Amino acid sequence: MRRVWHRIYSDFLMPPRLAEYRSLLEAALNRGYEVHSVLSFWQASRGGLDPGRRYLINRHDVDTDVGTALQMHRIEQDLGVRASYYFRLRTLNVPFMREIERAGSEASNHFEEIATVSKQKGLCTRQQVEQHMPEIRALFRSNFTYVRALTGLPMLTVASHGDFVNRRLRIANHELLNDDLRRELGIVVEAYDESLTSLFTERFTDTLYPRFWRTYSPLVAIERGDAVIQILTHPRHWRSAPLVNLADNLRRLTEGVTYEVRAVMRKGA
Ligand SMILES: [Zn+2]
C-alpha cells in the first residue's frame, strides 16, 4: 500500500525537483568535476583516464516526459555542462534532439526491441527469445537506422531500456547488440558495456519518492571526490507531469495484461 502511495505522490503530487538537479550539478562543478556525456567520457577515456581529474557522466533516459527533459537541458545549458539523452521511439523529438547535439551534448537511441518483440508475441522464456533473435536484431537495425536518418545525428552510443518484460524474462535489451550489429551501424559503445561501466568508481540511478536515489545520494560521492561518477536520471522523477504519467501508467497496465494473455495463449498453442 505504501508503494502505491509513493507512486501516486511521485506521479501526480510531487513538487518539481529541478532546483535540486541544478544544485547537484553546481556541487560537482564546485568540486572540480568535468561533466560529460557518455560519448565525451568514452572518448576521453581512450587514452587512459587522468588520475588528476574528476569525471561525472551525466546520462538521461527519456522513458517519458520530454517536457521535463527540456527543462533539464536548459539547466545544463546555463551551467555549460554536457549530458547524454537517450530517447525511446515513443519519446523521439527531432528538434530537441538536434538542439541537444548543437549544445555539445548527445542525443541517441534508448532501445528495447527484445521487450517489444516479447510483448508482441507473448514470449515467456529465454529460449523463446533466443529463437527470435534474428527478427529482434532486424527490428533494432530498422528502428536505429530510421532514427538516425530522421534526426541526421551520429548516434555513436546507445542505451538499453529496462521494461517489465525484461525483468520478467531476466534478459536485458542490450543482449541483442552483438559485434556484427555494432560494426555495421557504427555504434562505439553501449551504456551497459563492461568496458565502460568498469571505469566508474560509483554510479547512481534516480528512483521514486521518498528515496530518490539508488542506493544513496550522489552528493555524498561528489563531496568525497570519487574519481568517476555516473548519474542516471529519468525526467519523471524530477517533475510530476500528471497527464503524461497517467497515460504512461495506463499504457503499462494495458501492455501488462496483453502480454499475460499472449503468453498464456502461446503456452496453450
Ligand atoms: Zn528506460
> What is the distance between the alpha carbons of residues 148 and 178, in angstroms, rounded to a whole number?
19
Select from 75, 89, 43 the least CA-distant residue to 238. 75
13 pLDDT band, cuts 50/70/90, is confident
Q: Give residues whose Cβ lies within 5 Å of ion ligand 1.
A: 61, 63, 161
Residue 83 lies in a domain: yes
CA of 63 to the centre of ligand 1 (A): 5
Residue 16 lies in a domain: no
User: Looking at residue 235, what DSSP letter applies?
Assistant: G
* The three three-digit cell numbers of residue 80, written as one number: 555549460
Sequence letter at residue 219:
L
Residue 92 lies in a domain: yes
**What pLDDT, in 10s, does the model give residues 70-120?**
999 999 999 999 999 999 999 999 999 999 999 999 999 999 999 999 999
Residue 221 lies in a domain: yes
Instruction: Decide if 65 contacts 86 (C-beta within 8 A).
Output: no
Residue 228 lies in a domain: yes
Residue 105 lies in a domain: yes
* The three three-digit cell numbers of residue 96, written as one number: 530537441
Q: What is the CATH number of the domain that holds 223?
A: 3.20.20.370
State the total domains in the chain: 1
**What pLDDT, in 10s, does the model give residues 148-161?**
999 999 999 999 99
Residue 19 lies in a domain: no
CA of 47 to the centre of ligand 1 (A): 30
Residue 99 lies in a domain: yes
> 195: domain range?
33-45+52-268
CA of 135 to the centre of ligand 1 (A): 22
